[in-house]
Amino acid sequence: MASNEKRSKIKKGFMAVRVGLEEEEEDRFERFTIPVAYLHHPLFRSLLETSREVYGYASSGPLKLPCSVDDFLHEKKSYDEIIERKDRTRIFSAFTA
């Protein structure tokens, strides 16, 4: 039941990922909820390929991404800024068209 409760907390269009490196401090893995749209970004494609190489396809729970939490947060911030700029451009274009 508890695992179903966790799954129900993730909004549609989002997914859970577990980020961290095995060789980092013990249990330095963190769980994030990210938009599924991130999977189209080259960084995340690269992380998915590395994840497949490190962990294989069979996995239970959140998708594991083998990178440091700090690197993930840096790249996530960059990607969020790109999306925000695209959204502002789209909104501005709608008003000027």
Which residue range forms the structural domain that includes residue 50? 2-96
pLDDT in tens, 2-61: 444 454 588 999 999 999 987 665 667 899 999 898 888 887 888 889 889 988 877 777
Which strands sit side by side in the sheet containing 63-65, from one edge to the other?
Answer: 30-35, 14-19, 63-65
Q: Which helix (H) or strand (E) holds 14?
A: strand 14-19
Whether the pTM exceeds 0.85: the reply is no
- Give the total number of structural domains in the chain: 1
pLDDT in tens, 42-51: 878 888 898 8
What single-letter DSSP state applies at residue 91?
A: H
